């Protein structure tokens, strides 16, 4: 395996979150030389709030490795902790610890430096590191996580640069808002859990929801899939995305999703497992602070160091000291500053800016791969979750190996 040295790697992996680490592990399994760059689990450690719990179950939160021996419960076992099932919400700090363990075990050659620029070059790409080193590679895997794709609705654009509005991805600790009125815009897990954390930290949150109601998931009907009643297993089979034949299809055959029409894919990525809170979160939200449902956001303005939100609903005006946008993420190649402008223009995208990918997660630029959220428009909602690392990393590893062997 080629790490640092004079011989250039076949592939470069940009990013060291679950998708980047899984890709590196599968490249090794496929016999592909690579260099991987990034700070392990940085997006989870720096862009998600302390005290958070994962919405996904332990079996759906495993970073993929070809051996199948480095899942979340494998980590807990080796750490002297007991095995856990579907009723165990994973604390953020434990998941970060798991990811760092996975990196030490399966990607020890990870280089903790950032990639500054990727450009097209004869025979592949030139990757420039933040320290100035230049690396040539025939393939590049972009696994930069969620943060480049943080979405801020246009209604909040007037607050940009005022310090009165931020996206949830900008905060690792919400306790700094103690004593403040915070308007949380959104209806999903991020919005509801952030509001709960704000309330528990001594802030006064108000959740602003466009739709008519807030949804919380149903608790699992058993801790382990095998212990579910037989009728439930037949009528609503379990999957890493939740019970039901539809969820089973999205989780187990994401390659089929690619053949749907553009609009059908876009709608499903947006709506399947759409805004909802985890079952265990409801008791930390219900009745504890205002949740304004049926209140689309019309406009926002800064007034004397505070924010005024104009809403379409019974409450027409809401004043706050800060607005926290829990408005999700939207994949858009144009927002990936790490890619040279010429390279970005060469990538075929959807109307919304997501890259169009082939069966091996390769873009229209030969040798340039995208994984994680950037691949969701092609392969479906499973790519928004850690459990999607198996499909993505396995496909990329095999595809890069095949390219290498074909051109050798």
**Domain spans in the chain, listed from the N-terminal domain onward:** 11-149+329-407, 154-216+276-325
Q: How far is Cα 203 from Cα 206, in angstroms, rounded to an integer?
A: 10
pLDDT at 3 over 90: no
Q: What is the CATH number of domain 11-149+329-407?
A: 3.50.50.60
Please check the confidence at residue 50 and state whether its pLDDT lies above 60.
yes
| pLDDT at 406 (0 to 100) | 79
Q: How confident is the model at residue 5 (pLDDT cuts 50, 70, 90)?
A: very low
Mean pLDDT of 19-25: 98
pLDDT tens by residue, 55-79: 999 999 999 999 999 999 999 999 9
For the chain, percent helix, then strand, then coil, each to nearest 5? 35, 20, 45
Which residue is associated with the tokens 């590049």? 140
Pair of tokens at residue 321: 């000291």
pLDDT of residue 408: 59
In terms of pTM, does the model score above 0.85?
Answer: yes
Let me know if the fold of 11-149+329-407 is the same as that of 154-216+276-325. Answer: yes
Number of Cβ within a 10 Å radius of residue 350: 17
Summarize the confidence of residues 239-246 as an average pLDDT. 89
What is the mean predicted confidence (pLDDT) over 266-284? 91
- Cβ-contact 101, 21 below 8 angstroms: no
Percentage of residues in the chain having pLDDT higher than 70: 98
Q: Does domain 154-216+276-325 have CATH number 3.50.50.60?
A: yes
Give the pLDDT confidence of 136-178 residue by residue, as tens digits: 999 999 999 999 999 999 999 889 889 999 999 999 999 999 9
For CA atoms 85, 86, 90, 95, give the dihedral sign.
Answer: positive
DSSP per-residue string spanning 224-282 = SGGGS-HHHHHHS---TT-SSHHHHHHHH-HHHHTTS-HHHHHHHHHHTT-S-B-GGGG
Handedness of CA 69, 71, 77, 83 (dihedral sign): negative
Residue 390 has pLDDT above 50, yes or no: yes
Show the 3-state SS of 119-179: EEECCEEEEEECCCCEEEECEEEECCCCHHHECCCHHHHHHCCCCCEEEHHHCCCHHHHCC
Query: In Å, how far from its chain's centre is CA 343?
Result: 23
Q: What are the pLDDT digits (tens) for 90-108? A: 999 999 999 999 999 999 9
Q: Is 70 exceeded by the pLDDT of residue 2?
A: no
């Amino acid at each position: 395996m080629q790490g640092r040295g004079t011989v250039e790697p076949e592939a470069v992996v940009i990013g060291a979150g679950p998708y980047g680490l899984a890709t590196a592990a599968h490249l090794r399994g496929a016999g592909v030389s690579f260099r991987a760059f990034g700070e392990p689990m940085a997006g989870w450690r720096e862009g998600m709030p302390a005290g958070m719990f994962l919405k996904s179950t332990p079996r759906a939160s495993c970073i993929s490795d070809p051996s199948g021996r480095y899942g979340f419960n494998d980590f807990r076992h080796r750490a002297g902790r007991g095995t856990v099932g579907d009723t165990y919400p994973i604390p953020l700090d434990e998941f970060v610890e798991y990811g760092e363990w996975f990196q030490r075990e399966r990607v020890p050659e990870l280089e903790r430096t950032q990639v500054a620029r990727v450009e097209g070059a004869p025979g592949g790409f030139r990757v420039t590191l933040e320290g100035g080193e230049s690396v040539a590679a025939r393939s590049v895997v972009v696994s930069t996580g969620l943060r480049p794709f943080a979405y801020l609705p246009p209604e909040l654009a007037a607050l940009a640069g005022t310090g009165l509005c931020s996206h949830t991805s900008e905060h690792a600790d919400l306790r700094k808002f103690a004593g403040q009125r915070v308007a949380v815009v959104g209806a999903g897990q991020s919005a509801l859990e952030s509001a709960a954390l704000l309330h528990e930290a001594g802030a006064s949150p108000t959740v602003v929801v466009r739709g008519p109601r807030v949804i919380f998931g149903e608790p699992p009907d058993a801790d382990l899939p095998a212990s579910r009643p037989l009728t439930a297993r037949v009528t609503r089979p379990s999957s890493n995305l939740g019970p039901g034949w539809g969820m089973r299809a999205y989780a187990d055959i994401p390659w089929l999703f690619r053949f749907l029409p553009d609009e059908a894919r876009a709608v499903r990525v947006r709506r399947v497992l759409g805004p909802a809170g985890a079952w265990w979160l409801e008791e930390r939200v219900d009745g504890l602070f205002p949740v304004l449902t049926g209140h689309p956001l019309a406009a926002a303005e800064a007034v004397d160091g505070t924010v005024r939100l104009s809403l379409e609903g019974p409450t027409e005006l809401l004043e706050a000291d800060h607005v926290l946008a829990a408005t999700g993420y939207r994949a858009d190649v144009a927002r990936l500053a790490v890619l040279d402008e010429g390279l970005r223009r060469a990538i075929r995208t959807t109307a919304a800016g997501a890259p169009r990918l082939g069966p091996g997660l390769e873009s229209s630029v030969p040798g340039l791969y995208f994984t994680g959220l950037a691949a969701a428009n092609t392969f479906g909602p499973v790519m928004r979750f850690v459990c999607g690392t198996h499909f993505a990393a396995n496909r990329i590893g095999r595809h890069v190996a095949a390219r290498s062997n074909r051109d050798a």
